[in-house]
């Protein structure tokens, strides 16, 4: 079969006779039609993270079921389906994490396209239990971003955004119910409008019903993109520093902290009608220095979620603010299996604008490296899909 196979740092080979997978009793054979391009693919290709070669890349996958195992009843040949990038590897979800409902944090998690072969191939075998059917009306070259770029911020907003003190008076079900989610009519700030930040803006505005969504980035083009996705306000943080004559590299720790506080006040000034209230800050930027601004920006008794993966630690951060603001700080990782069906439904009902989020469809397996270079060069506004052909 044809596949994009990584053998080492920047050693990606498009093979035409790679060994075909086989399915077990409870598996399905999927023929991927498209995969989403993620920054994780880039870091693997550039050798920034370890892996065991040879490895077929691709963890955002949408395809067509071509064969089902003898024990599979939930799917049949011809079904359109997606596969979560991370799913449980323990037996019957029996590890402590899975028992607690954290199937996205299984002790033996399977990470497609990193720990095991991914979807940039003509065929792949996956457990039927973790293969989610999707309406055939949803284009597969858009559906491919659901497993990660959409489901990751969906889980973050749905389940990780809630300030812990709210559980003293309400249950999880009451706080996360459809149409009654705690974020409804609240104010959200999203740092970074990229492949994950775009869906975060879109979901906060369209699915969770936030009153205001403020998008923060350093590129005007991305901020215009955010407006199309539902942002009510935008802030170019570089412009703020330039307009105020601030050169961050020349500041000492005290002056730097003051400058970041000024940026935070500028961001929340767009919410003056709500007494500058910021109920949630979602950091999808993947930039370490954004975190102190997020802490400064969020209002007291509210939440900051780290969604983007920062490559280095925060320097000179005064964490007294965490105590003073009585804030909830949450990390997030992938999406639990129990929420994937709700993500699919949200897409099928049209409350996720996949047609806007997937901005590049011109790549295929043969131009996979070109896609990575386009991502690195800032030439992919939202998410790119890779055609498997």
pLDDT of the residue at 313: 80
- In contact, 257 and 318? CB cutoff 8 Å: yes
Percent of the chain exceeding pLDDT 90 equals 91
Q: Average of pLDDT values for 250-262?
A: 90
pLDDT of the residue at 170: 92
* Tens of pLDDT, residues 355-373: 999 999 999 999 999 999 9
* 3-149+336-387 and 161-331, same CATH topology: no
Which residues are within 8 A (CB) of 92 and not within 5 positions of it... i.e. 6 or more apart? none
Which residues are within 8 A (CB) of 188 and not within 5 positions of it... i.e. 6 or more apart? 204, 210, 212, 213, 214, 278, 279, 280, 281, 282
- DSSP string for residues in 215-249: EEES-HHHHHHHHHHT-SEEEEHHHHHHHTT--GG
For 166, list phi and psi in degrees, rounded to 5. Answer: -65, -20
Percent of the chain exceeding pLDDT 70 equals 99
Considering only the C-alpha atoms of the chain, give the largest distance between any 2 of them, rounded to a whole number of Å.
68
Which range has the worst mean pLDDT, 12-16, 108-112, 268-272, 285-289?
285-289
Q: Which helix (H) or strand (E) holds 46?
A: none
pLDDT at 175 over 90: yes
184, two tokens: 């409804």
Q: Average of pLDDT values for 119-137?
A: 98
Query: From 1.10.3720.10, 3.40.190.170, 3.90.180.10, 3.30.43.10, which CATH number describes the 3-149+336-387 domain?
Result: 3.90.180.10
pLDDT of the residue at 284: 97
Which of 279, 276, 194, 265 lies closest to 235 in space, CA to CA? 265
* Tens of pLDDT, residues 146-164: 999 999 999 999 999 999 9
Q: What is the pTM of this model?
A: 0.96
pLDDT at 318 over 70: no
* Tens of pLDDT, residues 55-95: 999 999 999 999 999 999 999 999 999 999 999 999 999 99
Q: Average of pLDDT values for 133-141?
A: 98
Q: How many residues does the chain have?
A: 389
CATH topology of domain 161-331: Rossmann fold (3.40.50)
Q: State the average pLDDT for the chain.
A: 95
| Spans of all domains in the chain | 3-149+336-387, 161-331
- In contact, 361 and 127? CB cutoff 8 Å: no
């Amino acid at each position: 079969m044809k596949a994009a196979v990584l053998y080492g740092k920047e050693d990606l080979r498009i093979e035409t006779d790679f060994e075909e997978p086989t399915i077990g009793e409870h598996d399905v054979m999927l023929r991927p039609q498209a995969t989403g391009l993620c920054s994780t693919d880039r870091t693997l290709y550039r050798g920034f993270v370890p892996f065991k070669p040879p490895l077929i890349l691709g963890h955002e996958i949408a395809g067509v079921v071509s064969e089902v195992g003898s024990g599979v009843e939930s799917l049949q040949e011809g079904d359109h389906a997606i596969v979560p990038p991370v799913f449980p590897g323990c037996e019957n979800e029996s590890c402590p994490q899975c028992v607690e409902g954290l199937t996205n944090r299984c002790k033996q998690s399977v990470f497609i396209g990193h720990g095991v072969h991914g979807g940039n191939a003509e065929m792949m075998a996956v457990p039927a239990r973790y293969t989610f059917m999707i309406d055939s009306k949803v284009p597969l070259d858009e559906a491919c971003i659901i497993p990660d770029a959409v489901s990751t911020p969906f889980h973050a907003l749905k389940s990780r955004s809630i300030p812990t003190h709210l559980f003293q008076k309400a249950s999880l079900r009451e706080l996360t119910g459809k149409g009654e989610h705690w974020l409804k009519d609240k104010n959200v700030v999203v740092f970074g409008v990229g492949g994950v930040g775009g869906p975060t803006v879109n979901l906060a505005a369209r699915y969770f019903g936030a009153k205001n969504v403020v998008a923060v980035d350093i590129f005007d083009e991305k901020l215009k993109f955010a407006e199309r996705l539902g942002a009510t306000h935008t802030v170019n943080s570089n412009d703020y520093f330039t307009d105020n004559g601030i050169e961050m590299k020349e500041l000492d720790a005290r002056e730097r902290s003051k400058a970041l506080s000024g940026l935070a006040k500028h961001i929340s000034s767009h919410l003056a009608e709500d007494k500058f209230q910021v109920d949630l800050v979602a950091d999808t930027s993947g930039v370490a220095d954004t975190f102190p601004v997020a802490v400064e920006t969020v209002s007291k008794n509210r939440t900051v979620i780290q969604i983007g993966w920062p490559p280095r630690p925060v320097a000179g951060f005064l964490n007294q603010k965490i105590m003073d603001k009585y804030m909830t700080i949450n990390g997030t990782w992938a999406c639990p299996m129990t929420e994937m069906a709700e993500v699919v439904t949200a897409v099928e009902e049209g409350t996720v604008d996949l047609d806007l989020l997937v901005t590049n469809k011109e790549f295929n397996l043969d131009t996979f490296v070109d896609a990575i270079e386009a991502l690195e060069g800032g030439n992919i506004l939202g998410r790119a899909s890779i055609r498997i052909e």
